[in-house]
Amino acid sequence: VELRDWLRVDTKAGKPLFDQLRTQVIDGVRAGALPPGSRLPTVRDLAGQLGVAANTVARAYRELESAAIVETRGRFGTFISRFDPTDAAMAAAAKEYVEVAKALGLTKSDAMRYSPTCPTSENRRQPNSSIVTVGRTGSKNGV
């Protein structure tokens, strides 16, 4: 299956074009349409096929690479990475969360308050809460 056969952008959607491309590549990897090692079209080729600016495709590829979903091998091109894209997507989401929290000027404790998996005084006492608090047992060096 060729990427250009199912990849589409909607210029009227409220979502930026680079983000539409990024999301569709991730979805393609998860669905198995883009298996590890698959070569992606060059930035210029894909931009021409989709009728978008080369910078749009380049930004999508950069974001996918920073999330370790794709890897660029110099003149050989851009390829789908060989590890679990869910891990990469979650790492990218966590990185984005940290960046937003920093941009808002939140302290670490303030940022943690917004995390649904972080126990707070409100959810710590709820017996049916999906949050589990685990005590620290220490490490090999006693810390």
pLDDT averaged over 10-residue windows placed end to end, the chain, 143 residues: 79 94 93 91 94 97 94 92 71 82 86 68 47 43 42
* Alpha-carbon distance values, 142 to 125, 131, 134, 136 (Å): 30, 27, 18, 11
**pLDDT attached to residue 95:** 81
Residue type for 47, please?
A
**pLDDT attached to residue 56:** 97
Residue carrying the six token digits 């490490």: 139
* Alpha-carbon distance values, 62 to 5, 18, 56, 68, 123 (Å): 22, 10, 10, 10, 38
CA distance between the termini of the chain: 52
- In order of their start, the domains of the chain are 3-80 (1.10.10.10), 85-120 (no CATH)
**pLDDT attached to residue 63:** 96
